[in-house]
Structure 1
Amino acid sequence: MSSAVSTAPREETSPTRADSRPPRKRKRTLRTRTVHARIFGVLGLPALALYLFAVLIPLFLAIRYSLLDFNLLTSKGPFVGLENYVTILTDGEFWRALSFTLVLTAVSLVVANAAGVALAVVLNRPRRFFNILRAIAFVPAILSGVVLAYIWSTILTDRGVLNSVLGQLGLSALQTSFLGTQTAAQISVIAVSIWPTIGFTTVIYLAGLQGIPTELNEAASIDGAGPSRTFWSVTWPLLRPSLFIVSTMIVIGGVKSYDISVILTGGGPVGATETPAMQILRQGLTENNPGPANAEAIILLIIIVVISLAGFALNRKGDVD
């Protein structure tokens, strides 16, 4: 009986001790996670430093300079508050440039998305010929805007390739100054800006299509759905992430567009194709007026952030629905 009494406490305490001690494997896992977190933290320091010096500090300086009245020679000036912002927002040239930029962005959104989806559906074939066509479609997206603008400038000038071809085909009535009149110049800049965007959107939508399980399309066809119904009911809803990525990139690129307008038209004729980015450079460097230039840059940044946040909200709402 004494032995039974002496062994009872051992049976009660041993499970408690076993439960209070984490398993050896769990210790190793926690230790490994801690080591990995420290390694990633150390490796992320250069990127964090680069982001700090390349983004945050310039942004802080831009906000500071937008509140001052100074020039590049003195780098000093009195504090004027929001006066530079009022100057920009009451300037008709700013609103004209912003209107053209927003039209360019809106047209790019519609045309590039529609063309990108159509090309992606056509090129989504496991054949070598279609692989070649994919590469060809993506070539304009690889080239810089300066190169594209120079190529198209040789085509669209008054004595360029396009007018020459129209004349040889007997279509002289269609010959015009594509870069010399306001409407034609705006259409030309928008068209040239959209061209490389289509290649980019095609690749993104191709990746989205190839990520859709084939079983879904097969199930839809078994249920009697045709190609059109299958696309709109199965494929298109699953392309929502691709649509969000493409639209966000198009909006950012459109609002800050610069190089194609500069090379093709220089912002003309009569400022018809001038963009806010061109005005920022002209005011800040050419006219030595960096205060309003920084204010316009901050306004442009706010527009991009607002549109991007609206896109995030719509995308999240679509995911919930």
Structure 2
Amino acid sequence: MAVTTIEAGPAEISAGPAPAAPRRASWRKWIEITVFAGPALLVYLTFVFVPVGLAAYYSVFNWNGYGPLEDFIGFDNYARALTDSVFLNSIVHNLIIMVASLLVQGPLAIGIALLLNRPMRGRTFLRLAIFVPYVLSEVIAALAWRLILQPDGAFDSMLESLGLGSAAQLWLADTSIAMWTLFAILSWKYIGLAIVLFLAGLQGVPPELTEAAQIDGATWWQIQRHITIPLLGPTIRIWAFLSIIGSLQLFDMVWILTGGGPANATSTMATYMMQFGFQRSQLGYGSAVAVILFFISLAIALVYQRTVMRRDLEGAVTTGAS
């Protein structure tokens, strides 16, 4: 019986052209990014980077806003601003408002949010009433408080009706109390945003942790201190970041209430810039102040993000990557 041996040679595999699907997907991805992010990026460049660049350009000229830019003075405007006691005091005022906001508004907002997070009658109305001042226009709120706090105004009349007429002050005209009066108004105006943010953050606290702590015999305060507030940390850090940037760029409420007075007691970097840049027609100098304000805000924001918010940002990147 013959046995037939079949030798199988190596299979020849011909490599065809690479599929074009990944390349088309890459182009499609970039087209989608361009279509959706392009307009927003264009608006951002137009209204943020271009004005900053123009301000930096104007700041090296002695220019009143009219005519060509011919009187080049280099960094003299910056040297003038950084050696002006009024401007340096304005920076101090911004820092005072920033620190006071963190130390006063933050704990007060957390306390109110914790109380409003508990079941009670009229909770919805209270939340709405607290948030109303933030919704009001800055111009309307500032004008209203300016009328209320004027001499013999509504606030002084209320004090007098309560038998506290001797406590009446020149609330916005006394250099010793104008700053603290301003801070009280700012707290009334912006604390509603902090409370709403904290209430939203409290919704993310798992109720199982609170129930377990209650079973273990923990008091309400111990639960808030050791469970709720630590879990509210990311929301607190985000609010603090917004508060810091808002305090550095504070302008409208101060400008309408006091104009930076009396005797520059409530001046901020933004009101100082407006006073010299527009009221005194020193646009070159005002642009230099604007650039200084920009870099101070940028430096503080970067330091805050790299230190305080570093853990939150790393967690967000890790979550997104996974």
The 3 A distance-change label for structure 1 pair 60 and 231 is: same
Question: In structure 2, what is the equivalent of residue 234 of structure 1?
Answer: 227
Structure 2 SS opposite 1:183: coil
Structure 2 SS opposite 1:312: helix
Question: In structure 1, what is the equivalent of residue 273 of structure 2?
Answer: 280
Separation of aligned partners in 1, 2:5 and 2:293: 85
Displacement after TM superposition at 1:37 (Å): 4.2
The unaligned stretches of length 5 or more in structure 1 are none
TM-superposition CA deviations, 1:217-250 (whole Å, max 9, x none): 2233334432222222222222221112111111
Displacement after TM superposition at 1:29 (Å): 8.6
Q: Does 1:304 align with 2:306?
A: no
Separation of aligned partners in 1, 2:106 and 2:54: 36
Question: In structure 1, what is the equivalent of residue 213 of structure 2?
Answer: 220
The 3 A distance-change label for structure 1 pair 4 and 317 is: same
Of 216-225 and 260-269, more deviation after overlay is shown by 216-225
Separation of aligned partners in 1, 2:184 and 2:251: 14
Separation of aligned partners in 1, 2:266 and 2:203: 39
Separation of aligned partners in 2, 1:37 and 1:185: 54
Question: Is the CA contact (8 Å cut-off) linking 1:197 and 1:250 kept in structure 2?
Answer: no
Question: In structure 1, what is the equivalent of residue 7 of structure 2?
Answer: 5
Of 127-136 and 207-216, more deviation after overlay is shown by 127-136
The unaligned stretches of length 5 or more in structure 2 are 316-322
TM-superposition CA deviations, 1:235-279 (whole Å, max 9, x none): 222222111211111111111111222222222211111211111
Question: In structure 2, what is the equivalent of residue 314 of structure 1?
Answer: 307
The 3 A distance-change label for structure 1 pair 185 and 274 is: same
The one-letter code matched in structure 2 to 1:103 is I
Q: Counting helix residues as a fraction of each chain, which structure ranks higher?
A: 1
Separation of aligned partners in 1, 2:75 and 2:305: 30
The one-letter code matched in structure 1 to 2:48 is V
Question: In structure 1, what is the equivalent of residue 88 of structure 2?
Answer: 95
Question: In structure 2, what is the equivalent of residue 77 of structure 1?
Answer: 70
Question: In structure 2, what is the equivalent of residue 131 of structure 1?
Answer: 124
Question: Is the CA contact (8 Å cut-off) linking 1:68 and 1:80 kept in structure 2?
Answer: yes
Question: In structure 2, what is the equivalent of residue 122 of structure 1?
Answer: 115
Separation of aligned partners in 1, 2:274 and 2:162: 42
Question: In structure 1, what is the equivalent of residue 318 of structure 2?
Answer: none
Structure 2 SS opposite 1:182: coil
The 3 A distance-change label for structure 1 pair 157 and 3 is: farther
The one-letter code matched in structure 1 to 2:100 is V
The one-letter code matched in structure 2 to 1:71 is N
Question: Is the CA contact (8 Å cut-off) linking 1:244 and 1:311 kept in structure 2?
Answer: no
The 3 A distance-change label for structure 1 pair 256 and 9 is: same
Provide the identity percentage: 34
Separation of aligned partners in 2, 1:307 and 1:201: 20
Separation of aligned partners in 2, 1:35 and 1:244: 37
Query: For 1:195, which of 179, 188, 197 is the aligned residue?
Result: 188
Question: Is the CA contact (8 Å cut-off) linking 2:260 and 2:272 kept in structure 1?
Answer: no
Question: In structure 1, what is the equivalent of residue 167 of structure 2?
Answer: 174
The one-letter code matched in structure 2 to 1:196 is K
Separation of aligned partners in 1, 2:89 and 2:196: 33
Query: For 1:165, which of 158, 169, 174 is the aligned residue?
Result: 158
TM-score, normalised on structure 1? 0.87
Separation of aligned partners in 2, 1:33 and 1:128: 56
The 3 A distance-change label for structure 1 pair 4 and 205 is: farther
Separation of aligned partners in 1, 2:46 and 2:164: 56
Query: For 1:211, which of 204, 215, 226 is the aligned residue?
Result: 204
Question: In structure 1, what is the equivalent of residue 248 of structure 2?
Answer: 255
Q: Superposition RMSD on alpha carbons, in Å?
A: 2.8
TM-score, normalised on structure 2? 0.87
